Chains A and B, each alone.
Chain A
Amino acid sequence: MSTTRAFLYCYFSLGLFFFSGTRTVAQQIPERHIRIVVDMVQLNVAVTDSKGNYVIGLHPSDFAITEDRIPQKIATFEEGNEPAQRVADTAPPDNQPLAASADQQDQRLSAADLSMLVAGANVLVLFDTSNYMYRGFVFAQDAIADFIRSLENADKVAFYSYSRDLSRVAPLTSDRSRVLRGVRATVAGDDAALYNCLLLAVKDAAQYPGRKVVVVFSNGPDNASVVPPEDVAELAESTGTAIYMVSTAEAQLEPISTAVFERMTAATGGKAYFARTWKDEKQAFASIRDDLEHLYSLSYYPRPNPNRGWRTIKVKLVGQQFQKYHVRTRDGYRPQPSRFSSESASASLPGPGTK
């Protein structure tokens, strides 16, 4: 269990729902504990005016967050690459079940942890090297190299490529040269399993605290994935990973890719860009970079919520003067039930010499 995360445990005992007056059912349905693991929920929020310009200078009190219509209390707040500020006590609400256990108290965040959690974005670039990219391969490489060069120094970047399989070419690093060498080391060919590989990329990104985005450079089609885009989108939303898709007009000829790119990015709080050609992606890069620099990062600990399914998040601006602005963020998450025993998950395996 990560020490930088605070976990809240909501135990729902189904057995409680059964009355004990009859001999049969209550005996046959053993008390069952399903633990819902809920981290601090982090949101990347873009606020734009009617012309698409970023609105800056907002304060925590300007935002209102609800989860399944339950108002939430903002725990941390950050604008762009400014340092994070603690807004509320980072401890979960008092009435959170089991929240006050000694175990949980130990995992409260220090100021340093907090800063790390919400500091500069981790950008994971995923490059389509499948046969679909063959003809534009070298131009796309140039474009990605440009994009990576353009990212602010504070950001860490990882570079992955995919075709039928994923290749983790350069792990998350602040060393741009290493990433650029990775870009130039890719090879083209094979089927395209975009959603398989995006799933893996999102899982990798999810391991890092703070803002994380996956930027996909793809020509679109997928002819090999076994997971559908819905599952990837849900995972990205549930892990607070924004997905940006950068593509060309070629992809727009294929309606499935267009639909997925636009809807998946919107659901996760990212955006899709379709330039005329790979040589013409500057605007997309600038836009992504702008997004990263102007996003508000908000976090909260969910208040008690019996919903074990999809939880809808709404972020609104408070105050009449802000109602003209547009707010973009992910639209929810699904807490995952975990029946792992904590003993098991943290247990060390026997090492050598244990007979």
Chain B
Amino acid sequence: MKPRFCLLIFLSGISLCLGSYTRAHTWAAPPPAYFQSGNSGTEFSGDRSSPSEDEVLIPGPLRSFLRMAGISQQVSPEEVLPLLARNVVLHGYQSGRPTEFLILLSRYVRQAEELATLAGDGGMIRISNCDDVKPLLRILGYRVRQNCGQSSTSLVTADPQRAFSTIDSGFPLSELEEALQRGGPFTYSFAASPVPVLFNQRDWTTENKKSGAPAEDFLDTILRNPTLARLYWALSRMDPGSRAELARNLGLRKLLPFAAVLDMYGGQICVQSGRVVVPGGKRAESDWKDLVGASPDSPAEFVLELLKKDHGWLAAYFDALSHANQTQQEHFSEAHRLKRFYEGFRSPGVSGDAASRLVFRQAPALLLLVTRLSWDPTGEPHVPGNLQTWGEILRQRADGKVVRGWGKRSSGWQHPDQLVEAMFALSRVETELGPLQADVFLCELDSRRSPGERLSPQTVLLLADKFSEFSDQYLIFSEFSDLTDASIARFLGLAESLGKIPNHTLRGNAMGLFQANVGLWQILARQGQIANTDLDNSWREVIEPFAKISSAAQLFDAGRNSLGQLLRFATGKSNASQDAIIDLLAGPHQTSLEGQRMHQEVASKIRSVLDGQRLVSLDTLLALGEGLQELTRGIDVSASLAAAAGELREFEMPRPIFTGSERTRWAEGTYNNRHTELQMRTDLAKLVKSPRSRAELEAARGQLAPFLRDTLVGLNYAYYEPPGAQALHHNPLFVRSHDFSGETVMGIERLWQAPQVFGAGYPAGGGAHLVGSLADLAYVLSEVEEDFLAPQSVQALIWKQLVPTLLTDATVPRWWDVSRNELHAVALYQRAGEELLADSADNQELYNKVMPILSDRMMPQNLTRLEQALRQRQLDEVFAQLVPADTFYLAAEFRQRFPSDAASWGPAGKELESLSRLYPAEVSWERLSRDFGVPHAVLAQSYARELLNVKPFPALAGNGSRLMAESWDSSNLYWARLADELDYAPVTLNWLVPELTRRMVEKIFATDLEDWPAILRAMRETGEEFRQGKIPLLPTKEATSQP
């Protein structure tokens, strides 16, 4: 949601609306109960008496209130007050003072009250003619210009504060104006809108009074008491039974001091049958009793102690473990690990550092650790390398007391649990590149390898040692587990040596060229165009030419040879034209007509980006390189070379708007196009026409290296073009400006990590560009391009934390080798899951099988809502609760857990069974996960496409925000089902998925970061439009915007 709280950026300097919550921003202390809300009008004191205690009357239309409160128009009435409470907590106060958001909202409430009074008992504003409009206009803050009743009659601002509320709340001012022009009547319904309240109004207002605040009604209470608002928001996210239990047995008063802890870590607390459901289940109850100091059998006492204990850290631990699936929880509950690991977790200290101090939850890595920790068949935690290796890793790190402390303790380690205990402790350390993150990554990497090919201790040591510098490069290692230890080590060795090339220009070009070819290898390997048996060999052959680079000519030769090796493994020949390479990148050769058309579309998109970037053709560059060598050999090809060399000089900088001195003044440190300017000074034509020495010819060949770098990097950019991209097409410096060596930015480190975006928002800076490596390029390009998508609702936002991941999920996967059976299976899995769920409404036995499966994916509150809907046979409501990945997972897991339970399957389930018998490989989970899954660069530390079954992650700080986005993997499953049901060939997904995803993103109308229902709505609306033929089947051709 865009409006109100984005004003905070302007007015308070806090970057909240972009979702880049700063760690420095701490929760405000409870502010004074009253605040001065602007200077117009009196304190609100209208009568908002409600027909019942469990409803609150919002003055005026709900739509207007939602606009002002920063809440999506698409929410249900039940969601209004929780989201209002949330926005008050998150955006309403800064250092104890009300923000502009809250002031405007309060001002609107007062204005709405006045309008409600004008509307009278009937709730209808009626203006019969020009004479009686004045009272309305006074409230609205407008006046009539020109005489009433004329076509020139118009309304203009009289009181800017009131006018702002009028406009921002969406009052139909134009309609009023038109009525005045006609001299006719104007009517507008301004009836109050009832919305349900948790428990009843009096519970909250009474509590407000007890806290010393003046007596006000419910709405005032929420607006003016952020602590109470936080408790409201926290309780609203618990399942109804559990929160009722707490309210009944504890009361709001006892919970109020722990509102923040409950808000951050209370969503998983679930009371069932008079006991708290604890991670690990019944057999873990006694450990939890010891940890908490109260029995789960006494829910009120247990929850209160849980929230109190260690300033909320135990609640954080409880919540993280609750996120893990049941299998993980079982592992953690064995051998009293729960207690041991908690000791580790609390060991950095728990006093004076409340777990709920900041905006985001603390120890975000803990969630990753408990969700993704892998276990050996023996039931022990998996240890990449061995314990001694990890002891060494910890001892080598000198960064911080906690790490050093565990390094000392590691010498006596005998059991993997000791390492995990240390990792729990390290989850408290604020870093994204520490030993814990290395451990999680290495577990992922190792678990993707066969038992006989686990990482050696030396490789583990190497990877951990280089983790802070190269961790984003490791994504490729986990995507291709066939790469041997030696190949991994060789890559790191070469990268390090390239990074040490003394000449800055050569170093940047070398790093870029090297990564560009590795990136192309990654694409071709992922698309299956390099045989699995050749993966390791081809990797080595592609990187090896960069072993010795000391001159630009060597670099050009290395780039060319490396590309030749890549082509050899992909096509059998080491030469190919640029067009052929583009065709190769566009995907494997297609035999069907539609396959060929789709392939051509993808290739055209790549060419379009290269055109937009005005990059020199590979054909020209390679031919020039060859021609220069011919000249060295004494063969006179100067005439032809001169013509080709002319192409190098064709690039023109965009026509400048700023002078050089203006750029220096207004974009110092941002505008730096040295790389391009050097290229523009390259004049090979002159050189080849005149007599030249061998050394000059060698140098000339070296001058081709930066061009070669740009074109190969450009191919990577073009391949990962996100839907709706514009910079790639209209900023011709974008690829050329990629700074691989940190030349343009002072003090930047870790150049082998994912690139950062620089230059955005500096008009004189020449546009945004990337600084860093090519790792995670798909995601970073999506970050750059996301704001070119235009939300359909004027209030909606492109959510920075979410949208790049959605776009990446539509960009990286391709569907060239997907069979019709696979596509159909994806649809059947989803339908079969729905059938199971629907049938479970009347079948207790089935219900008992289905719900535990879903509990691995759903939060207790959602699960409870689902159960209620099932009990009431409201199947539409049931399916509205579920994302496609839920039903897909339900069917897949049910098949695995209950293979002989054929009787439970509905028609789709039976068809799935029969399809599975005929085509077991195509219908297997592994195959579908590979073909319809998405990359999880943060959650699973890999660009490999797969379906992960995890509960939705909460919003976390920093890179952790991607965890939340990556826990959504429903889109492609849904698009695939749609394609199957509409009888599209699988290969059309290559066009459908990016296009539908773009439209879906533009439809997202979310209130907050974690508004999954908004994403689900947007996806389904897009699908429905597609079904109805409202989305053109033809690809939208780039507007031929010529003069």
Contact = CB atoms under 8 A, between A and B. Distances in A.
Contacts of A199: 726, 730, 788
B857 interface: no
A309 B611 CA distance: 12
Contact of B657 (A141, A229, A354): A229
Nearest to A1: B1040
A74 to B, nearest CB: 14
Contacts of B1042: 5, 37-39, 238-239, 333, 335-336
A185 B983 CA distance: 40
Interface residues of B, number: 116
Contact of A228 (B607, B643, B647, B767): B767
Contact of A141 (B167, B177, B646, B983): B167
A191 B9 contact: yes
Given A28-B623, A184-B167, A203-B1041, A19 B607 contact: no
Interface string A315-355: 00000000000000000110111111101110111111111
B181 to A, nearest CB: 10
A11 interface: no
Contacts of A165: 787, 789-791, 797-798
B611 A338 contact: yes
Contacts of A351: 984, 1033
A102 interface: no
A38 B790 contact: no
Given A226-B731, A340-B607, A134 B647 contact: no
Interface string B652-694: 1011111000100010000000000000000000000000000
Contacts of A207: 1039, 1041
Contact of B787 (A40, A188, A196): A196
B1035 interface: yes
B761 A263 contact: no
A2 B637 contact: no
Contacts of B215: none
A2 B7 CA distance: 43
Contacts of B163: 138
B822 interface: no
Contacts of B617: 32
Contacts of B657: 228-230, 233, 259-260, 263-264, 267
Nearest to A205: B1041
B173 A235 contact: no
Q: Is the interface of A mostly helix, strand, loop or mixed?
A: mixed
Interface stretch (B152-160, B366-374, B397-405): B152-160
Interface in B706-734: 726-727, 730-732
B639 interface: yes
Contacts of A76: none
A177 B795 contact: no
A289 to B, nearest CB: 16
A19 B1035 CA distance: 40
A25 interface: yes
B639 to A, nearest CB: 6
A309 B1043 contact: no
A189 B639 CA distance: 60
Interface stretch (A48-56, A105-113, A166-174): A166-174
A185 B794 contact: yes
Nearest to B995: A349
B376 to A, nearest CB: 45
Given A138-B160, A228-B766, A161 B794 contact: yes
Interface in A145-183: 145-146, 149, 161, 163-169, 177, 180-181, 183
Contacts of B598: 349-350
Contacts of A70: none
Contacts of B10: 131-132, 134, 189
A24 B626 contact: yes
A345 to B, nearest CB: 5
A114 interface: no
A138 B666 contact: no
A187 interface: yes
Contacts of A14: 620, 643-644, 647
A340 B617 CA distance: 15
B652 A309 contact: yes
Contact of B655 (A22, A230, A308): A230
A275 interface: no
Contact of B763 (A184, A225, A348): A225
Contact of A191 (B18, B637, B788, B791): B18
B640 A17 contact: yes
A207 B1037 CA distance: 11
Contacts of A202: 1041
Interface string B741-771: 0000000000000000101110111111000
A228 B662 CA distance: 14
Given A186-B794, A187-B794, A30 B577 contact: yes
A213 to B, nearest CB: 15
Contacts of B790: 165-168, 200
B458 interface: no
Given A131-B6, A134-B7, A149-B154, A260 B763 contact: yes
B862 interface: no
Nearest to B1040: A37
B1034 interface: yes
Contacts of B793: 167
A238 B1042 CA distance: 6
Contacts of A116: none
B170 interface: yes
Contacts of A217: none
Nearest to A353: B983
Contacts of B650: 308-309
Q: Which of A24, A165, A267, A353 neighbours the largest number of chain B CB atoms within 10 Å of its CB?
A: A165
A310 B614 CA distance: 13
Contact of B726 (A32, A206, A227, A310): A227
Contacts of A181: 172, 174-175
B800 to A, nearest CB: 9
Contacts of A1: 1037, 1040
Nearest to A223: B761
A350 B598 CA distance: 8
Contacts of B1039: 203, 206-207
Interface in B123-167: 141, 152, 154, 156-157, 160, 163-164, 167
A229 B600 CA distance: 33
A340 B608 contact: yes
Contacts of A163: 2, 6
Contacts of A339: 607-608, 610-611
A195 interface: yes
Nearest to A333: B1043
B167 A18 contact: no
B207 interface: no
Contacts of B928: none
Interface of B: 2-7, 9-11, 17-18, 67, 141, 152, 154, 156-157, 160, 163-164, 167-168, 170, 172-175, 177-178, 575, 577, 579, 593-594, 597-598, 600-601, 603-604, 607-608, 610-611, 614, 617, 619-620, 622-623, 626-627, 630, 635-637, 639-641, 643-644, 646-647, 650, 652, 654-658, 662, 666, 726-727, 730-732, 757, 759-761, 763-768, 784-785, 787-791, 793-795, 797-798, 820, 982-985, 987-988, 991, 1033-1035, 1037, 1039-1043
26 contacts: A17-B640, A17-B644, A22-B636, A24-B627, A28-B626, A164-B798, A169-B794, A187-B167, A188-B164, A190-B2, A190-B9, A193-B761, A193-B787, A199-B726, A200-B788, A226-B767, A227-B730, A227-B767, A230-B655, A259-B658, A333-B1042, A336-B611, A339-B608, A341-B604, A347-B600, A350-B597
Given A29-B620, A29-B623, A223-B761, 5 more contacts: A39-B1043, A186-B167, A190-B9, A230-B655, A354-B594
In order of increasing CB-CB distance, the 10 nearest A-B pairs are A17-B643, A131-B10, A350-B594, A189-B6, A226-B768, A206-B1041, A18-B640, A29-B623, A230-B654, A223-B761
